Structure 1
Amino acid sequence: MIRTLGVLVGLAGSAAAEPPQLASVFTDHMVVQREAPLMLFGTAEPGDAVSVSLDDATQSVRAGLDGRWWVDFEPLAAGGPHTITLKAGDATVQAISDVLSGDVFLCSGQSNMEWPLKSSLYGDREVAAAGIDQIRLLKVSKASAISPEAALPEGNAWHVSAPETAADFSAVCFLTGKALQAEHDVPVGLIDASWGGSRIEPWISETALAASGQHDAAVNLMRLYRDDPPAALALYAEQWTGWWKSHDWYDGRDPWTGDATLDWMPTPDWRLSDWSTWGVPELEGFLGQVWHRVTFTLTPEQATGAASVSIGQADDVDVTWLNGTAIGATHGWGFGRVYDVPAGVLKPGENTLVVNVYNSYGGGGLTGPEEDLHVDLADGSSVPIAQGWTWLKVPGDAGNPMPAPWYPIQGFSMLHNGMIAPLEGLRLKGVLWYQGESNAGDAEAYEDLLTVLVKDWRGAFRDSDLSVAVIQLPRWGALPSAAGTEGWGTIREAMRRAAAADDKVGLVVAIDLGDPMNLHPPEKQHVADRTVRVMDALAYGKPTVGPSGPEIARAERSGDVIRVAFEGVEGDLQTISSDTAIGFETCFEGACRYVSGMVVNGDVMIGLPSDIAADELRYCQGDSPICNLFDSNGLPAGPFRVELADR
């Protein structure tokens, strides 16, 4: 259990490193990017001189006023091993050995990127075959921070790939790297910096978000939190309650005050647990918000001074008020919350504690344990609050509460600060990005966010042409039964558009590799195969017909026929299990209908009576669409939405 105000992870700013030393990303067994300028960097006391050696080449440098130093060495060819040495005067203070020069890839995103090799299809076999000296692995531990960190989480280091080091490493990252190493016969370094459930915003730097001009409120609140957490929490609570009051169903009563005129219902036995287990039909499988309320009585002496409130574990997000004053807001599960209460919030007599819990997946609510539910008072006494709870369901159409920017995986910049900033300055061959599930609910903003992230990381890793492979979300969830169903089709389209606008961003189409019943399909081998195909074309310049498979080129209407042309088709365009191409929709002003077509001379021809208006053509939409258009190499035509032109 961690005591905090508003966030339950380490939020300390970057502490001054013990001078002199290399940055923490430089360890034994690492891989540096071949055929690119090699910058070595680290810290020392301001103004102190150090000498840095790469094998027999040595350079001297003085640390700046901020204690940082860096030196550049000539590019290395693939191979090794090399040695990096740091000296202060004549004394060797650090020596890094078994350094290889090869291709370095950063793999990031949420749970499908984090999914470990041991849990992939044929995981035991894949792990047993992971002993490859020419592959080196760096797994960045989960860490968030309110300011950019200079050092990796404690204990993080590069390792030679072996069954014991690869088992918990990202399956997609490892399998992609393994194939690229075998194909190009150079050392490969893989960095796994991923966190299940994370949105894209936490992976983008505060500087980049501010420069985009689209997130000023969040950036300003983040900066306030850095300087004055209580003031930031109060402002966030004001914004949160403003969001609540903006709904049509708001009737002037404020649940965060514990308003007794609301229809509070007792929890089973007046105790707390996962709300889906209460036997209440309207809460079975419910994903959304539920208010939780409890009261406790204090004497005038007990109500004097500051206090702390322990509410146990919450899943996923809580915002907590005591007597109408916000005392905490946290995202995450599997740990308890303890919130500090300033003097003056408690009062003699009845006090009301209210917790709004938002759950987006699986079980949810306040789940104890009971011994962690108590109020600790300034006089040293403790008041239990394990019993007497009531609840109030929030309408299912309320939407998602606005996340606080300091939430580790749902806020802004926190994961960049803790997991990406310590890597900045390295050179990379490419980036693998597999994320989007947590942003699917507001996918319209994703194209811009992904574009900002790519630009941000290119700056961080000093390569304006850095290759990025974006793995498009596979099918999962409801089978669409009506045309016009949005679902995950919206975020897949955002990914497609972001990739189409950037020659060095490639789309890995995985629509056919998902499982409607499993958010984490274990078959990562084909995802890796397709990622290799895209990265070969982007980063290695390998001539490839359709790295992403068949892609929409244009859709034109002439009379009662729509002609759909594709590019990037290897061999022939063909339909599977039918001579008809299904999954197409024509739309007009947002109203859609299903249509089908036939493959004729490499194009799809769709019949549509000329009196039916259409301004958009869609393909393979919804959460788990069934689509049957492939090329001869077995690659699917990817989902798309395009304007329908008249010819």
Structure 2
Amino acid sequence: MDKLFFQLTVFFCFFGGSSVFAKIRLPDLISDKMVLQRNITLDIWGWGDVGEKVTVRFQREHYYTEAGPDGKWTVQLPPQAAGGPYIMEVNEIVIRDILIGDVWLASGQSNMETPIARLTDRYPEINASNNHMIRHFKVPTQNTVESVQGDIPRGGKWHSAVASEVMNWTALAYFYAQEAYDHTKVPVGMLVSSLGGSAIESWISQEHLKEFPDLLVDQEAIDSLKIVGTDRGAGKWNTSDWNDTDWQTTTVPGLWRTQGLDSKGVVYYRRDFDIPPYMDGRHAKLLLGMLIDSDSVFVNGHFVGSTSYQYPPRKYDIPAGVLRAGKNNVTVRLMANNGNGGFVEDKPYKIIGDDMEVDLTGEWRYRVGLDLDEINGYKKRLSNFKAAGSGLYNGMIYPIRNYRMRGAIWYQGETNAGRPQYYQTYLESLIRNWRELYQAPELPFLIVQLPNYLEKSDEPQESGWAEIREAQLKATQEVPNTALAVAYDVGEWNDIHPLNKKDIAHRLFLGARRISYGEKLISSGPIYQDMKIEGDKIALSFTEIGGGLRSRDGALRHFAIAGEDQKFVWADAVIQGNTVIVSNADIKKPIAVRYGWSNNPEDANLENNAGLLASPFRTDDW
């Protein structure tokens, strides 16, 4: 007996007054095989019961906190050097095979989430991949315009690039991670948050879209709909003891419009009635004549029947055991979408029992449970809901804000090519937005310029794709710590999802080496700087010439020139020193030049001596 008492005492001392058995929850990002960003303070976060004690054990150190009033908790780890694999313990949860290295956020639309399985014929070496030091996490899709979300959906998982797991990767992330690891020899984590067909607006917060009213969602209308958009009386107003003394009164029978009730939707009616002692617990019949349109009926809180449309007579059985001597209650939940519901006149409204009849005509109390006019008013204020921005930001960017990273790569623009005029503003807003969110004012941001696509044009053409490329270039010129990967030579005219993701990854990482790793190298092809009209010719000057200008193959191609009529024609172009001289024998007074300005400028071939192609450009703004 004494031994049993001692065992119970020990048990309750250790467990009875503690939260040992309470389970904390971690986001899926913080799990086996994760890569944490090196050389920066790290957040480890999760959820638990209010006040629950949390202990994080990592690298022989212990860190303590507790869940706040909202159930959230965060522990900060000091900067860590690259290395691993390591183990982390968070209370009873053990996280294994952790690496410390560089984490890159990869976002955009379908070309960012192209599965690597599509590329195995082009790159058969993928099948034999055996790099355990690079990891990949794909954020599950969550598109929610209503509000920011606290976590990503469950189901995400870290995968290494070994043969048994590599098919879980997306293609561009794989090649970028390989480039980064081969160059730095530190672990690389690719955090992929992308969605095919998505527009750039959906990746930007409402706060950063304020200059575009059509993209803003009426938050007041959303919040109001959460209140009025559901039946306020459901499960409550039909109970027998609900206090309805503050409800309005009306007369039964009668229709809404004739009684001054201007509403469409759901109205609750309540009426108390008395039953003699001999009917206590006895079966009875409830007659409710004809109601417009559909009804659900409760006696003393017990459901006794419903009818889905106007015409059938309402005859409901009140089962034995429901009625009680003295005061009773009947509640009718009445729904009418046409705005003139109610109780039809000259029909019976009563309860019939053994030698008993209770008249239910006269005064009832009522309250509106669901007002469709009010709902429709708020819905009109949300007419742009499907076209509003921020849905993917709310669901797939904001929830990962605590995960530290080295930089971001962005491959998007195809969906916006039909409305390119605002793209530069959107892109600059997105970069500022994410830098604020991730508390990294100089977060490196690497952009894939749209590749070539669609059939080549025989003549110079206007092009939404060209305008997106221009917007992407200008954004990198306006926003510091950004870089551009030119890609108009690696696309496919008949496939919007080109398979050559390897060259794109290489060019992106050239930008990373310059702006993130501080290397002094040429990471860009020639960038148009200025023009000078010289008689019937135009001389173009460039930055990023990388030791000089050259043609990739043969004569320069895809230059167009225009005179005062603003009509572009193909032009001759030759390199003279560090300039390009452009002309056409039929244009005597040229005023503007364009280069690579089409959907598919695949044959454009101006590059620098580093072998990097010039970005497409125009000198006009027509």
Aligned to 1:416: 393
Secondary structure in structure 2 of the residue aligned to 1:100: strand
Q: Does 1:623 align with 2:599?
A: yes
Q: Does 1:595 align with 2:571?
A: yes
1:589–1:115: structure 2 CA closer, same or farther, 3 Å change rule?
farther
Give me the whole-angstrom Cα distance separating, in 2, the residues matched to 1:222 and 1:474: 38
Structure 2 length normalisation: TM-score?
0.68
Q: 1:219 aligns with which of 216, 221, 225?
A: 216
- The one-letter amino acid paired with 1:627 is A
- The one-letter amino acid paired with 1:41 is W
1:416–1:580: structure 2 CA closer, same or farther, 3 Å change rule?
closer
- The one-letter amino acid paired with 2:96 is S
Deviations along 1:11-46, one digit per CA (max 9) or x if unpaired, are xxxxxxx96333332111100100111122222334
Aligned to 1:384: none
Give me the whole-angstrom Cα distance separating, in 2, the residues matched to 1:200 and 1:555: 32
Q: 2:49 aligns with which of 45, 48, 51?
A: 45
Q: Does 1:80 align with 2:116?
A: no
Give me the whole-angstrom Cα distance separating, in 2, the residues matched to 1:346 and 1:179: 66
Aligned to 1:606: 582
What fraction of aligned residue pairs are identical, expressed as a percent?
Answer: 29
1:224–1:552: structure 2 CA closer, same or farther, 3 Å change rule?
same
Deviations along 1:202-252, one digit per CA (max 9) or x if unpaired, are 11123332xxx22334323365345427999xxxxxxxxxxxxxxxxxxxx
Q: Does 1:436 align with 2:413?
A: yes
Secondary structure in structure 1 of the residue aligned to 2:558: strand
- The one-letter amino acid paired with 2:337 is G
Give me the whole-angstrom Cα distance separating, in 2, the residues matched to 1:589 and 1:425: 55
Contact 1:111 1:197 in 2 (8 A): yes
Q: 1:520 aligns with which of 497, 500, 521?
A: 497
Q: CA RMSD in A?
A: 3.1
Deviation at 1:527, TM superposition (A): 1.2
Give me the whole-angstrom Cα distance separating, in 2, the residues matched to 1:111 and 1:302: 54
1:36–1:586: structure 2 CA closer, same or farther, 3 Å change rule?
farther
Give me the whole-angstrom Cα distance separating, in 1, the residues matched to 2:423 and 2:466: 12
Contact 1:21 1:44 in 2 (8 A): yes
Structure 1 length normalisation: TM-score?
0.65
Contact 1:105 1:432 in 2 (8 A): yes
Structure with the greater alpha carbon radius of gyration: 2
Aligned pairs (5 A) from 1:187-206: 187-206=187-206
Deviations along 1:331-362, one digit per CA (max 9) or x if unpaired, are xxxxxxxxxxx952699xxxxxxxxxxxxxxx
Q: Does 1:56 align with 2:75?
A: no
Q: Does 1:584 align with 2:560?
A: yes
Secondary structure in structure 2 of the residue aligned to 1:512: coil
Aligned pairs (5 A) from 1:439-454: 439-454=416-431
Contact 1:102 1:186 in 2 (8 A): yes
Aligned to 2:551: 575
The number of equivalent residue pairs is 460
Aligned to 1:563: 539
Give me the whole-angstrom Cα distance separating, in 2, the residues matched to 1:419 and 1:121: 28
Aligned to 1:157: 157
Give me the whole-angstrom Cα distance separating, in 2, the residues matched to 1:589 and 1:50: 72
Contact 1:631 1:637 in 2 (8 A): yes
Deviations along 1:131-158, one digit per CA (max 9) or x if unpaired, are 2110111111222223222222212121
Contact 2:52 2:66 in 1 (8 A): yes
Secondary structure in structure 1 of the residue aligned to 2:419: helix
Deviation at 1:406, TM superposition (A): 4.7
Give me the whole-angstrom Cα distance separating, in 1, the residues matched to 2:582 and 2:444: 36
1:434–1:201: structure 2 CA closer, same or farther, 3 Å change rule?
same
1:569–1:156: structure 2 CA closer, same or farther, 3 Å change rule?
same
Q: Does 1:170 align with 2:163?
A: no
Q: Does 1:140 align with 2:117?
A: no
Question: Where in structure 2 are there 5+ consecutive unaligned residues?
Answer: 1-21, 230-289, 296-334, 341-380
Contact 1:221 1:405 in 2 (8 A): no
Give me the whole-angstrom Cα distance separating, in 1, the residues matched to 2:586 and 2:576: 20
Q: Does 1:465 align with 2:439?
A: no
Secondary structure in structure 2 of the residue aligned to 1:167: helix
Give me the whole-angstrom Cα distance separating, in 1, the residues matched to 2:60 and 2:74: 18
Q: 2:486 aligns with which of 509, 513, 530?
A: 509
- The one-letter amino acid paired with 2:98 is V
Deviation at 1:76, TM superposition (A): 0.6
Deviation at 1:186, TM superposition (A): 0.2
- The one-letter amino acid paired with 1:130 is S
Give me the whole-angstrom Cα distance separating, in 1, the residues matched to 2:123 and 2:574: 43
1:218–1:523: structure 2 CA closer, same or farther, 3 Å change rule?
closer
Deviation at 1:613, TM superposition (A): 5.2
Contact 2:562 2:587 in 1 (8 A): no
